[in-house]
Amino acid sequence: MDTLETTDLVDGLISIGETLGSGLSIEEQMQTLCKAVTSILRCDSAGIMLRDGEYLYGKYSHGIPGDLVDLFPLYRVPVGGPVIQRVARSGGYLVINDVKAEPTATELAELAQITALVLAPIFLPNGSLLAIMGAHYRTGIGKFDETRGQLVLGAAKMAQLALISDRERVTRVRTIASRRELIGELTRAEDAERSRISREIHDDSMQRVLAIRLKLNLLSDKETDPETKLALQGLADQGARTAESLRNLLQNLHPRGLESEGLAVALEEVLTRTAVGTGWQVSLVNELEMEPTREVGTVLYRAALQAFTSIETQNKATQVKVRLRTVDRGTEMLVTDDGPGIHPAAVRSGQSTLASMRTRVEHTGGVLDISDGATSGTQMRIWIPLQIFDRAIT
C-alpha cells in the first residue's frame, strides 16, 4: 500500500476545495468530489449515501463496478444499524480494513464486494445525520491508514458545506414556489369576489339608480312649476353622476376589458377616466410582444390603480405616462409622472400605500423599483415574469 504524507493530504484537500468552489451543480460537485477522493487515496471507489427518513441510500459515487453501479441508488442502510451508529458516534472517521471479519459489516462485504473501507459522517447544523461518505477497496490488498481516514473526513466536511447549502437553496425555492402559488390562489379568490360584488352592484344598485333617474326625468318633464322642475332636474343630474361613479367603481372592481381586450386597453380606459377627474395629461405606450397571463395582468392592473391613487394624493402631478414592454421573459410596466415624487424609503418602510404593492409584486417573483424620473417627478418600474404561478419549480 502506498503511504500518503501530510503534504499529500494538504494538496488533496486543496484540490477537493477547488472542486467544490467551481460553480458546478450539486450533482457534478459530489461526483467530482468522489472521483477526486478515489484518485488521491488511490483506492477503488468512493461514494456518498444520503439520508431519507430512517435509511441511507446511494446517491453519488465514482469507481463502482458496472455490475453494481445501477444497484447503488437502490441500496438501503438503516440509520440505526450498528456500522452507521459507530460512524455517527465517532465524530470522526471509522476504518474497517477487514470487512469480512467485521460482523456488523458482513452485509456490506457481500452486497458491495468491499474488502476495506473508511467512513465519515456528514451532519446537519442541528447535529442530525445527513449523509455518510465512504472510500473503498475491493482488491483485498488495499488498506486505509490514519492519513487516508483524515482525508476522507476532510472531504466529508467539505461535502457537508455544499450539501447543506444546496438543501437550503431547495428549501428557498420551495418556499418561493409556495408563496407564488398562494399569491395565485389569493389573486384568483380576490378576482372572483370582486366579480361577485361587481355583478351585485350592476344588477341591483346600478339598476335602482338608473330607475330613480328615469323617474326623476319623467317627473321633471311633467312638472310645470319652474322651481320644482329645476330641483327635479338637479336630482336627475345627481343620479347621472352617481351612475357614472358606479360604472367607474365596476370597472375598477372587475375590469371586463382586461380579459377581453388586454392589459393595455384596460389601463388606457382607467387612465382616461382618471384624467377627467384630475386634469392630468396622460399617455400610454404599448410595446408588449405578447399579452401577459390573466394573473400577471391582474397584478399589474391593481398596481397601476394604486400608483394612480398615490400620484393623485401625494404627487400633485400634471402629466402621467405609462409604458408596457415585454422584457427578459417578463412584462414590464413603467409609470412616470412630473410631480415632486415619492421618497423610496417610504415604500420600503411601509409608510405608503405602495408598500402593499411592493409585497404583492415581490411575492410573485417580480421587482418594484421607484426612482427619480429622467427630468423630474417619479418613475415606478414593475417587472413580473410571464409565468409567475408555475407549480414545477426546480
pLDDT digits (tens, 9 = 90+) for 269-308: 888 888 887 889 999 999 998 888 877 888 888 888 888 8
Q: What is the mean pLDDT of the chain?
A: 80
pLDDT, position 56: 92
Query: What are the DSSP calls for 9-43, one per residue?
Result: HHHHHHHHHHHHTS---HHHHHHHHHHHHHHHHT-
Confidence of residue 389 (pLDDT cuts 50, 70, 90): very low
Confidence of residue 324 (pLDDT cuts 50, 70, 90): very high
pTM over 0.75: no
Confidence of residue 392 (pLDDT cuts 50, 70, 90): very low
Helix or strand run (H / E) with residue 1: none
* Comparison of pLDDT for 149 and 362, the residue scoring more: 149
* Comparison of pLDDT for 361 and 326, the residue scoring more: 326
pLDDT digits (tens, 9 = 90+) for 243-262: 777 777 776 676 766 777 88
* Comparison of pLDDT for 187 and 300, the residue scoring more: 300
Q: Worst-scoring range by mean pLDDT, 1-10, 62-71, 363-372?
A: 1-10
* 6-175 and 261-394 share one fold: no
Is the pLDDT assigned to residue 173 strictly greater than 90? no
Report the alpha-carbon distance of residue 89 to residue 10 in Å, rounded.
26
pLDDT, position 12: 63
| Nearby residues of 166 by Cβ (< 8 Å), 6 or more positions away | 26
* Comparison of pLDDT for 266 and 1, the residue scoring more: 266
- Give yes or no for a contact between 151 and 39, defined as CB atoms under 8 angstroms apart: no
pLDDT, position 360: 77
pLDDT, position 15: 66
Superfamily of domain 6-175 in the CATH hierarchy = GAF domain (3.30.450.40)
- Give yes or no for a contact between 48 and 20, defined as CB atoms under 8 angstroms apart: no
| Percentage, residues of the chain above pLDDT 90 | 14
pLDDT digits (tens, 9 = 90+) for 97-154: 888 777 766 666 666 678 899 999 999 988 899 999 999 998 767 888 888 888 899 8
Tell me, rounded to whole angstroms, the distance of Cα 369 from its chain centroid: 18
DSSP state of 289: S
Q: Which three cell numbers stand for residue 37?
A: 477522493
Q: Give the relative orientation of helices 354-363 and 146-200 as an angle to the nearest 10 degrees.
A: 130
Please count the CA atoms within 13 angstroms of the CA of 315 that sit on its side-chain side.
Answer: 29
Q: Which three cell numbers stand for residue 93?
A: 472517521
Report the alpha-carbon distance of residue 232 to residue 319 in Å, rounded.
38
- Give yes or no for a contact between 30 and 60, defined as CB atoms under 8 angstroms apart: yes
pLDDT, position 335: 92
Q: Averaged over 189-205, what is the pLDDT? A: 77
Confidence of residue 169 (pLDDT cuts 50, 70, 90): confident
Output the CA–CA distances (angstroms, integers) from residue 179 to 192, 255, 306, 360, in the order listed: 20, 25, 22, 10
| Nearby residues of 58 by Cβ (< 8 Å), 6 or more positions away | 47, 49, 71, 72, 73, 74, 75
CA 358-360-363 angle, to 5 degrees, is 105
SS3 content of the chain, % helix, strand, coil (to 5): 55, 20, 25
334: helix, coil or strand? strand
- Give yes or no for a contact between 290 and 298, defined as CB atoms under 8 angstroms apart: no
Is the pLDDT assigned to residue 319 strictly greater than 70? yes
- Give yes or no for a contact between 148 and 142, defined as CB atoms under 8 angstroms apart: no
Hey, what CATH class is 261-394 in? alpha beta
Helix or strand run (H / E) with residue 270: helix 263-278
23 Rama sector, left if φ>0, alpha if ψ -120 to 50, beta otherwise: left
pLDDT, position 321: 92
pLDDT digits (tens, 9 = 90+) for 32-73: 889 888 888 889 999 999 999 999 998 999 988 877 788 888
Domain boundaries, the chain: 6-175, 261-394
pLDDT, position 390: 37
